[in-house]
Amino acid sequence: MNSHGRDEQRVVWAVVDSSIGPLLLAATGEGLVSVVFHASDEVRDKTLERLASRFATEPVEAPESPLLTEAIRQFAAYFAGERRDFELPLDWSLISGFNRQVLRELASGVPYGAVVGYGDLARRVGQPGAAQAVGMAMGANPLPLVVPCHRVVERDGGIGGFGGGVETKRKLLALEGVLPEPLF
């Protein structure tokens, strides 16, 4: 308990290598709370500052923690083409409201190797005119890959945007067999 009589929230983190570059994984006692692409030192430091502010505790580097160990194992299997789904507890506390509703639908309703349009996802959550808001929810996703925002594409067949960059999105969709592997 802290001095205010509340349980302190412990945040653990690790940076892991992947075929799309270094990823920062962070978890709380509830589950995986954040996945961050391109985890350079600068990106890592900014992410850890945000997490420290949000959870009122200093994140601790702990790749050996049980949840991170399992997450690291599952991410390695995913990038090796040996895993299609992540089976990890998730901490949804960094997202709320419409964004949480959309991301939960995405996580449960769009399987590996499939894609969905922004407008289709909006209709699935009962907001047929909210395609742009769905795009904003994808951009706010604190758990990319696990909550697969890379599987959301434009209605006209365009790939759409992606917080990790369009090239990263192409690589992920190629890994899942949705797009052909780049020639070079």
Mean pLDDT of 21-30: 97
Percent of the chain with pLDDT over 70: 93
* CA dist., res. 156 & res. 120, Å (int): 12
Please, which pLDDT band fits residue 130 given cuts at 50, 70 and 90? very high
* CA dist., res. 155 & res. 9, Å (int): 41
Residue 5 has pLDDT above 60, yes or no: no
Mean pLDDT of 120-140: 95
Q: Give the ranges where the chain is alpha helix by DSSP (H).
A: 41-55, 66-79, 97-109, 118-124, 131-139, 166-175
At residue 2, the pLDDT reads 42
Mean model confidence pLDDT for the chain:
92
* 51-107 tens-digit pLDDT: 999 999 999 999 999 989 999 999 999 999 999 999 999 999 999 999 999 999 999
Looking up tokens 């434009």, which residue turns up?
154
* CA dist., res. 141 & res. 147, Å (int): 8
Looking up tokens 């030192």, which residue turns up?
41
Residue 48 has pLDDT above 90, yes or no: yes
Please tell me the number of Cα atoms within 13 Å of 118 on its side-chain side: 22
Please, which pLDDT band fits residue 29 given cuts at 50, 70 and 90? very high
| 24 close to 47: Cβ distance less than 8 angstroms | yes
* CA dist., res. 20 & res. 169, Å (int): 9
At residue 9, the pLDDT reads 74
For residue 142, give the DSSP letter. S
At residue 179, the pLDDT reads 84
Percent of the chain with pLDDT over 90: 87
Mean pLDDT of 115-126: 96
Active-site residue, from 149, 152, 153, 173? 149
Mean pLDDT of 15-33: 97
Q: Is 44 a catalytic residue?
A: no
